Every structure is written in structure tokens, then in C-alpha cells.
């Protein structure tokens, strides 16, 4: 996967996350019951439980802000720092998703498909951004693209010298 494709994929996923968390934030504030395919509408129960807010802030809003900041880090000028930021943010997002999923499964004993959707999205984004950070790709515009476009940057140019 090229550096560019990786970044584009992450941008698309972050945009999806914004749409999803934005919708859930809207539901929270409007008090609308979320559509849910599972019997008994556990989504509604999850979203009306005390765990739908953290220190008074709806978790859907926290998620929305998280996705926005992640998108910001992806749109920022490409570089080591930006890749680090994306990686750290998605790891944080994954940690938060893990906490919410724990509450759903072990405290509320309810599963909400919207929340699972966000958790899956965040997991994929975390994997991609950790990979992107570790391999240290640079942007297509950077001059060292030929060397850096691969998991092993700067392969030793031994073949350059005749033996």
C-alpha cells in the first residue's frame, strides 16, 4: 500500500467516523430513539444509560471531536509529527472504544450496533495509522519518495558500486 493510498484510506475512515459520531451526537441531544435491528432496542438503552456521558459530556460528542481531530492530523502537512499524532489519537480512540465496549458488555449487558460500528472503525484506523507511523512513509511530494516507499526505508545502495 502506498503512502498516499494509506493516508487517503485513513481520511475516508475518519470522515465515516465523523458521520457516525455526528449522527449519534444528534440523537443524544434530540432525544430520538436510535434505529436498531436488535430486539428490544438495546441501542436506546445503552444511549440512555449513565455511561452515555463522561463527566457530563456525551460520549458521542467526545467521539465526534476525536474523529475531527484525527481527520485534522491527517490533513496536516505530512511528516513524522503528523503521523505520530494520528497514531497517538487513534490509539486513544481505540482505548476509549474499548472502555465503552467493556461497559456495554460487562456492565449494561447490552450491545449497541452503532457503538460496535465505531469501535470497528477505530480499530481499523488504529492498525493502519500504527503501521503508517512505524514504516515512516513520506508524502509523494517529498524528494526521497523512491527510497521511502516501502516498509524498509533507505535500502543500502550496495549495487551502485562495481565490484
Would you tell me which residues interact with other proteins (CB under 8 A)? 40, 45, 48-51, 54, 84, 87-88, 91-92, 94-96, 98-99, 102-103, 106-109, 130, 133-134, 136, 152-154, 156-158, 160-162
Q: Which is nearer to other proteins, 50 or 141 (CB)?
A: 50
Q: Which is nearer to other proteins, 54 or 68 (CB)?
A: 54
Residue 65 cell numbers, joined:
471531536
CB of 112 to other proteins, least distance (A): 13
CB of 123 to other proteins, least distance (A): 13
Q: Which is nearer to other proteins, 35 or 136 (CB)?
A: 136
Integer-rounded Cα Rg, in Å, for the chain is 20
**Alpha helix (H) ranges present in 31-79?**
42-48, 59-75
Cβ proximity of 102 and 5 under 8 Å:
no
CA within 13 Å, CB half, 37: 2
Q: Which is nearer to other proteins, 114 or 133 (CB)?
A: 133
Q: Kindly provide the residue ranges of all beta strands, DSSP E only, lying in the chain, ordered along the sequence.
A: 53-54, 57-58
CB of 91 to other proteins, least distance (A): 5
Phi, psi (deg, nearest 5) at residue 54: -125, 115
CB of 143 to other proteins, least distance (A): 16
Q: Which is nearer to other proteins, 18 or 104 (CB)?
A: 104
For residues 22-49, one letter each, b for 16 or more C-beta atoms within 10 angstroms of the residue's C-beta and e for the rest, the string is: bebbebbeeeeebebeeeebbbbbbbee
Cβ proximity of 71 and 11 under 8 Å:
yes
CB of 153 to other proteins, least distance (A): 6
Amino acid at each position: 500500500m502506498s503512502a498516499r493510498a494509506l493516508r487517503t484510506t485513513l481520511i475516508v475512515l475518519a470522515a465515516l467516523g465523523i458521520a457516525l459520531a455526528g449522527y449519534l451526537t444528534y440523537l443524544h441531544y434530540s432525544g430520538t430513539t436510535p434505529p436498531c435491528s436488535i430486539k428490544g432496542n438495546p441501542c436506546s438503552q445503552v444511549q440512555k444509560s449513565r455511561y452515555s456521558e463522561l463527566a457530563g459530556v456525551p460520549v458521542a460528542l467526545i467521539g465526534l471531536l476525536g474523529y475531527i481531530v484525527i481527520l485534522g492530523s491527517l490533513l496536516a502537512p505530512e511528516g513524522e509529527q503528523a503521523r505520530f499524532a494520528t497514531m497517538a489519537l487513534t490509539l486513544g480512540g481505540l482505548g476509549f472504544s474499548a472502555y465503552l465496549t467493556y461497559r456495554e458488555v460487562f456492565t449494561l449487558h447490552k450491545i449497541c450496533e452503532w457503538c460496535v460500528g465505531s469501535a470497528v472503525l477505530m480499530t481499523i484506523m488504529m492498525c493502519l495509522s500504527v503501521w503508517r507511523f512505524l514504516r515512516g512513509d513520506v508524502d509523494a511530494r517529498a524528494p526521497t519518495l523512491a527510497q521511502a516507499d516501502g516498509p524498509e526505508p533507505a535500502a543500502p545502495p550496495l549495487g551502485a558500486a562495481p565490484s
